[in-house]
Amino acid sequence: MLGSNFYKFLFFITYFLKYFLGLPKLYSLKEKNMPSLTEENYLKAIYNLSLSGTKPVLTNELADALKTKAASATDMVKKLASKKFISYKKYYGVQLTAKGQAEALMVIRKHRLWETFLVQKLDFTWDEVHEVAEQLEHIHSKRLIEKIDSFLGYPKTDPHGDPIPNSKGKLPIQKTLGCDQLREGQQATIAAVKDSSSSLLKLLDKMGAYPGKKIKILSRENYDHSTEALLDGKKIFLSKEVAQNILVTE
């Protein structure tokens, strides 16, 4: 967490946007009738755990994902249900309503646009931006986020290859498979990274395994399923776990 440093950073961001985009002070950490920071985190977690809204999420799953107590998660679930963000049945789980899904996708949109902004305009590395974007995603200003989208040239994906929901909350469908599923001799294009942990991103950075790069499978070991591959003409070796976390398009 950035703590008090976040507000210093927010002040810097405001100055940057005002200078380059001609924006006045237009951000707000909390506007009337908007979900709170905690509520937004729950909605985003439910969306991700539900596989984009396709299955119910148990409160214990939610508590584990957000590193909180089951009782706290249950209390928040009841609160979100009272605000019509989710539907909730005891022992069955929770699902986002249309209203809740729209809010979750807006948080995801802001998060991924901020990550893109930080990498492209402020020279952050792709393993640094997640924590910062976790803070910035809770700024409530539609005008601000639309200006950033325009300033960046309406990017379709973030630095990790994840699709960015558009201004209407539509998330592009991206058909991918893990690099571990490719056959020997098969070539594909790296599309995204499944696990955005800093340690994995730093490892991929050393390899040069970024979205958009071509990768060809040379061989795979039967014993541990490790992979030898060709990346931009350079041989690399991937463990089974790393290969599983590199998502590609054929």
The CATH code of the domain that includes 15 is: 1.10.60.10
Instruction: Flag whether 163 is in a domain.
Output: no
CATH number at residue 240: 2.30.30.90
Same domain, yes or no: 128 and 225: no
What local confidence, expressed as pLDDT, does residue 109 receive? 97
Question: 67: domain range?
Answer: 37-96
Predicted confidence (pLDDT) at residue 61 exceeds the cutoff of 70: yes
What local confidence, expressed as pLDDT, does residue 142 receive? 87
Same domain, yes or no: 144 and 59: no
Predicted confidence (pLDDT) at residue 8 exceeds the cutoff of 60: no
Instruction: Flag whether 171 is in a domain.
Output: no
Domain boundary among 78, 96, 114: 96
Domain boundary among 96, 112, 127: 96
Same domain, yes or no: 125 and 230: no
Least-confidence region, from 24-28, 43-47, 62-66, 128-132:
24-28
- What is d(CA 131, CA 31) in angstroms, rounded to the nearest whole number? 23
Band of residue 79 on the pLDDT scale cut at 50, 70, 90: very high
Question: pLDDT tens, 160-197?
Answer: 999 999 999 998 888 899 999 999 999 999 999 998 88
Question: pLDDT tens, 208-249?
Answer: 999 999 999 999 999 999 999 999 889 999 999 999 999 999
Band of residue 2 on the pLDDT scale cut at 50, 70, 90: very low
Instruction: Flag whether 115 is in a domain.
Output: yes
Same domain, yes or no: 44 and 144: no
Band of residue 21 on the pLDDT scale cut at 50, 70, 90: low
Same domain, yes or no: 120 and 85: no
Q: To the nearest whole percent, how much of the chain has pLDDT over 90? A: 70
Q: What is the pTM of this model?
A: 0.84
Instruction: Flag whether 162 is in a domain.
Output: no
Domain count, the chain: 3
Instruction: Flag whether 159 is in a domain.
Output: no
Same domain, yes or no: 54 and 81: yes
